[in-house]
C-alpha cells in the first residue's frame, strides 16, 4: 500500500512513477550475522548477491546479532522496522534451544515480532528451527510447532529450517565439511548451500513486499 501511495504522489507531482527498490531486513542471530566469516562470505552478502544475479532490486539489511535469542529479537524489532523496510526474514530460536528456554516463552517472543511486522504491513518470511531430542519429546514437539503454527496464524511465508540446504543424505563427513570447526555455524561453502535452498522463498518475500 505504501508503494501504491508513493506512485500516486509521483503521478500527481508530474513525475513518472518508477518501481521502488525493495528493502528487506534479516532479523536473526549469529547465523544471520555471519559469525566466523569474512564479511562477503556471510549469509546476508551471499543472499544479496544471489538475489542480484536473478534480477531482484533488493536492499538486504543485516539485522543479525550474534548470541541473540527470540527475546533479543522481540526487544529490537521495533527499531529494526524502520519506515523504509518492506519485508523481514526472521531466523531466530537456535540460542533459545541451546539455553533450554521454555518453548512457550520463545513462542510469545516470535509472536511479538510477527505482530510488530503485521502492525506495519511488513511481509515476513519465518525460518523454522528444530529442537534436538535431548530435552525430551514434549519439549521438541512444542518448540518445533512454534514456527509453522505462527506462520499460518499471521499469513507469513514459512521455511522449515535455516539448515535445509546442508542436508547430505547418509554422508556425515560431507555435512561436516560445510561447517566451521565449532560444528554449529556454516562455513562459506555451507552458507552458499543455505542461500541456494532458501533463496527462492526470499524471492517470494521480495515479490510480496513489492506488491504492498
Least Cα distance to 80 among 68, 63, 67 occurs for 63
For 105, phi then psi, to 5°, come to: -70, -45
pLDDT, one tens digit per residue, over 105-135 is: 999 999 999 999 999 999 999 999 999 999 9
Region for 142 from its dihedrals, namely left if φ exceeds 0, alpha if ψ lies in -120 to 50, beta otherwise? alpha
* pLDDT above 70: residue 98: yes
| Residue whose grid cell is 569474512 | 38
Amino acid 20: pLDDT: 81
Q: What is the dihedral of CA 174, 177, 178, 179, to 10 degrees?
A: 130
Match 501511495 to its residue by C-alpha cell. Answer: 5
pLDDT recorded at residue 167: 79
Looking from the CA of 183 toward its CB, the CA atoms found within 13 Å total 2
Mean pLDDT confidence for 33-37: 96
Give first-to-last CA distance, the chain, whole Å: 5
Min mean pLDDT across 8-22, 76-90, 190-204 is at 8-22
Q: Rounded to two decimals, what is the model's pTM?
A: 0.88
Is 165 or 82 the better-scoring residue by pLDDT? 82
Q: Inform me whether the pLDDT recorded for 36 exceeds 80.
A: yes
pLDDT at position 211 is 86
Position 175 scores a pLDDT of 79
As a whole number, mean pLDDT of residues 52-70 equals 96
pLDDT classification of 19: cutoffs 50, 70, 90: low
**Whether residue 45 has pLDDT greater than 50:** yes
> Class assignment of domain 21-211?
alpha beta
Cα–Cα distance measured from residue 212 to residue 206, given in angstroms and rounded to the nearest whole number = 10
Domain ranges of the chain: 21-211
What local confidence, expressed as pLDDT, does residue 27 receive? 98
pLDDT at 23: 98
Give the pLDDT score at 13: 40
List pLDDT tens digits, range 145-202. Answer: 999 999 999 999 999 999 998 876 556 677 789 999 999 999 999 999 999 999 999 9
Tell me the backbone φ, ψ of residue 82, rounded to 5 degrees: -70, 165
pLDDT tops 50 at residue 43: yes
The whole-angstrom separation of Cα 90 and Cα 110 is 9
160 vs 126: CA distance, rounded Å: 9
- CA 49, CA 52: separation in Å to the nearest integer? 5
Q: Which residues have C-beta within 8 Å of that of residue 57, sequence separation ≥ 6?
A: 19, 21, 22
Amino acid at each position: 500500500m505504501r508503494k501504491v501511495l508513493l506512485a500516486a504522489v509521483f503521478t500527481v507531482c508530474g513525475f513518472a512513477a518508477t518501481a521502488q527498490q525493495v528493502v528487506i531486513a534479516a532479523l536473526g542471530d549469529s547465523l544471520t550475522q555471519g559469525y566466523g566469516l569474512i564479511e562477503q562470505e556471510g549469509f546476508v552478502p551471499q543472499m544479496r548477491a544471489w538475489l542480484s544475479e536473478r534480477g531482484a532490486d533488493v536492499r538486504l539489511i543485516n539485522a543479525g546479532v550474534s548470541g541473540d535469542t527470540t527475546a533479543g529479537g522481540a526487544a529490537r524489532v521495533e527499531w529494526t522496522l524502520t519506515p523504509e523496510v518492506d519485508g523481514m526474514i526472521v531466523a531466530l530460536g537456535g540460542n533459545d534451544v541451546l539455553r533450554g528456554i521454555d518453548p512457550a516463552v520463545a513462542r510469545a517472543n516470535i509472536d511479538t515480532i510477527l505482530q510488530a511486522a503485521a502492525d506495519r504491513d511488513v511481509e515476513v518470511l519465518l525460518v523454522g528451527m528444530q529442537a534436538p531430542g535431548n530435552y525430551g519429546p514434549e519439549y521438541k514437539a512444542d518448540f518445533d510447532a512454534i514456527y509453522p503454527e505462527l506462520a499460518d496464524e499471521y499469513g507469513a511465508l514459512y521455511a522449515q529450517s535455516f539448515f535445509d540446504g546442508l542436508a547430505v543424505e547418509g554422508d556425515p563427513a560431507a555435512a561436516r565439511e560445510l561447517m566451521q570447526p565449532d560444528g554449529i555455524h556454516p562455513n562459506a561453502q555451507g552458507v552458499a548451500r543455505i542461500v541456494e535452498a532458501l533463496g527462492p522463498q526470499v524471492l517470494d518475500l521480495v515479490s510480496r513486499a513489492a506488491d504492498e
